[in-house]
Amino acid sequence: MESIRLPADVLFTLGPVPITNAMLSMWLVTLGIIVVAILVRLGMRVVPSRAQIVLEMGIGYFYDALTDAFGTQKRALKYLPFIFTLFLMLAVMNQFSVFPLLTSIVVDGDVNLFRVATSDWSLTLTLALITVIGSQVIAFVAHPIRHIGNYFRFHLFFKVKTPMELFLACIEFALGLLDIISEIAKVISLSARLFGNILAGEVLMIIIVGLTAYTQFILPIPFVILSIFSGFVQAFVFAFLSLQFMSGVITAVDDAPAELETTPDGQTA
């Protein structure tokens, strides 16, 4: 039975940086996407080719979803490249094991030259960190005081008039602190979801193929189809959830409701 390894295997080191097989396959996919994008861009016409139709459909779909989430088309256009790149990259990467022969190339005895990069936690964790930290930084740069005020809600205490309102303000303040924990939990859940799904597909395939000599041929086909489907769904879900997380943080400071307009020192902004 082929062994199951959680960390990616190091192929060689480039100075202090270890190059793993997951990185190599990610570079291959990135290169492929760039080449396809350039080809489609060069062949762009008013009467579209097939590839252009498919890409335009995807971009249009995400553009509509972003417009819904962010409120304005101007802001949607600003974040569309990031979200759609995430989707394209993950959708191609999750199907990497379907490309013939590539994942079967073996170097140094038992190390695969290419590996589905999303079954390595490093990639998904990096993407989740980029999403969450990026949205925090964008919101902080846009409105620093209001953004911090969303988490440390001191401004509520300046409006307290009765004991009951003090009690409610304490609860609101604690909820604001809990939001900080939920930001950290977003990183873990977003990355673990993609990683776990893709790795589970890989492990399932290895177990079924390694079960007996007879289960190598026809039996894995339904599971291959299932993992292709779940690969697309997970890429879509990752892009959609990072869209929701980003829009939640960014629109909270950009069009804040009237009660959040007060700065922490009690003056109305």
Partner 1 sequence: MDVEAAKLIGAGLCMGLGAIGPAIGEGMIAAKAMEAMSRNPEMANNLFTRMIVSMAITESTGIYALLVSLIILFV
Q: What is the DSSP string of 13-61?
A: EETTEEEEHHHHHHHHHHHHHHHHHHHHHHT--SS--HHHHHHHHHHHH
Q: Please state, as a whole number, how many other Cβ atoms lie within 10 Å of the Cβ of residue 94.
A: 27
Task: Please state the closest distance from residue 132 (CB atom) to partner 1, in A.
Answer: 15
Residues in 214-233 that interact with partner 1 by CB under 8 A? 233
First to last CA, the chain: 65
- 128 vs 253, which CB is nearer to partner 1? 128
Distance in Å, CB of 34 to partner 1, minimum: 28
In terms of CB distance, is 139 or 190 closer to partner 1? 190
Burial of 240 per CB tally in 10 Å (0-12, 13-18, 19+): middle
For 10, the enclosing helix (H) or strand (E) is strand 10-14
Total of residues contacting partner 1 (CB under 8 A): 18
Nearest distance from residue 205's CB to partner 1, in Å?
15
Residue 6 makes contact with partner 1 by CB under 8 A? yes
The stretch among 30-38, 133-141, 234-242, 250-258 that binds partner 1 (CB under 8 A) is 234-242
* 59, 239 Cβ separation under 8 angstroms: no
* Angle of CA points 217, 201, 3, to nearest 5°: 75
Residue 188 CB, nearest distance to partner 1 (Å)? 9
User: Which stretches of the chain are DSSP H helices?
Assistant: 21-42, 50-70, 73-94, 121-142, 144-151, 163-211, 220-254
By the rule CB under 8 A, 125 interacts with partner 1: no
Check residue 86 and report its DSSP letter.
Answer: H
- Of the candidate residues 63, 99, 154, 236, the single one contacting partner 1 (CB under 8 A): 236
In the complex, minimum distance from the CB of residue 182 to partner 1, in angstroms, rounded to a whole number? 13
162: left (phi over 0), alpha (psi -120 to 50) or beta: beta
Q: Is residue 112 near partner 1 by the rule CB under 8 A? A: no
* Shortest distance (Å) from residue 236 CB to partner 1: 7
Residue 130 burial (C-beta neighbours within 10 Å; 0-12, 13-18, 19+): middle
Q: Which is nearer to partner 1, 237 or 252 (CB)?
A: 237
Choose, by CB under 8 A, the member of 71, 148, 240, 263 that binds partner 1: 240
Binding mask 183-212 for partner 1 (x = CB under 8 A): ------x--xx-xxx-xx--x---------
Q: Which stretch binds partner 1 (CB under 8 A): 2-10, 108-116, 135-143, 206-214?
A: 2-10
Contacting residues for 140 by C-beta, under 8 A, at least 6 apart: 147, 148
What is the largest distance, in Å, between two alpha-carbon atoms of the chain? Answer: 76
Footprint of partner 1 (CB under 8 A):
4-6, 189, 192-193, 195-197, 199-200, 203, 233-234, 236-237, 240-241
